[in-house]
Structures are given as C-alpha cells and as structure tokens.
Amino acid sequence: MIKSKQDYLYYLEADRKALQIKKTLNNLIYHEVWKFQRLLRKAEYYHNCNKPKLAKTCVFLRFRRMGTKLGFTIPPNAFGPGLAIAHKGTIVVNGTARIGKNCRLHVCVSIGTQAGKDASAPVVGDNCYIGPGVKMFGKIVIGDNMAIGANAVVNKSFPEGNATIAGAPAKIISNKSSEGLLVKGC
C-alpha cells in the first residue's frame, strides 16, 4: 500500500517495468493503459496520504473517467506494485479483493465477492498471471506464482501456489508456475 511519496514512485516504476514501457514522451502521453495505471497509483497516494480534498477529488474524477473509457473498474489499494494490465477491455475488481505484487491481468477478468457477502473477496498472492476471461469470486486464497488459464472459474482456494489452474470450476492442470508469463517489476 502506498504510504509516502517514495512508495508512490516505487509503485510507478515497478508498474512501468512490468508493462515494459520505455521512458518516452510518446508513451507518457499516448499509452492509455499506462496513463490509467499512473492515475490509479496517484489516486492511491492522494487517498492514503491525506492530500487536500480538492486535489484528491480532481485526481479521482480523472481516474474514474479514464477507467470508464478503458472499461476498467479497479479500486485503489487492490493491487501491489508491478501491476501489468495487458490491454484495454472489461476488468472488474471488488474493492475488498487484495492482489499481490507482479500481477499480469488480461481482458474480461472479474474478481468479486460471494453473492450477498460484501467482504468475502479473493486474496491473490505475488507473481500471478490471470488470463483472459477469468472469474474469481468468494473468500478464496490463491498462492504465489500461480497461472490462471483463460476463462477459468475459480471458486475455491489454491493456497499452495506454484501451479497452473484452469477450467470451470478451476482445478490444477499443471505444476508449471507463472514463470515466463509475466515480467516482474519489483
């Protein structure tokens, strides 16, 4: 969680590395996913560090507008450093979900709560690859170094990590971890 300007800068650099974005003016201005992630981190920084209310409101409005444009419903403080959103498209994450560092996230992912329970969202470990169309819900724990295959429906815990899961409902299909599927930003 971002608690200082130093943390903010660390998260930005980790996200940039995970996305493999070069430090160019063109990327700074035109790369929409990178722009969204910078606004996400700025919103977290302003929220967590008690910045002035007017400035915080302006940042949150820009953040929400950009999220709507790209199809992202991602709350502040859900992801650790090294987040890499593969490209624009529908992504929905519940505000109580917690995802560790170095997560690669693809289009049409939904990470939510169990029906009727607001505080029972997934907790995902570090270095996880979440493929296109993955649906995760309920009070579940996903361990470190997991690869979750396309269109998997994950409704039970896999706390041991270091495996690939897929299917509906998800089950372990391989002992291969997420190594090689994502770039670690930190």
pLDDT in tens, 126-160: 999 999 999 999 999 999 999 999 999 999 999 99
CA–CA separation, 52 vs 108, rounded Å?
35
Q: Tell me what percent of the residues of the chain surpass a pLDDT of 70.
A: 100
CA–CA separation, 46 vs 49, rounded Å?
5
DSSP 114: P
Would you say residue 45 has pLDDT above 90? yes
Radius of gyration of the chain (CA): 16
* Residue 119: per-residue pLDDT: 77
User: pTM of the prediction?
Assistant: 0.92
Those residues with Cβ within 8 angstroms of residue 55's Cβ, 6 or more apart along the chain or in another chain? 46
As a whole number, mean pLDDT of residues 28-52 equals: 94
Beta-strand runs (E) in the chain: 72-73, 84-85, 91-93, 98-99, 104-105, 109-112, 123-124, 129-130, 135-137, 141-142, 147-148, 153-154, 164-166, 171-174
Would you say residue 11 has pLDDT above 90? yes
* Residue 118: per-residue pLDDT: 73
Domains of the chain: 1-71 (no CATH), 90-179 (2.160.10.10)
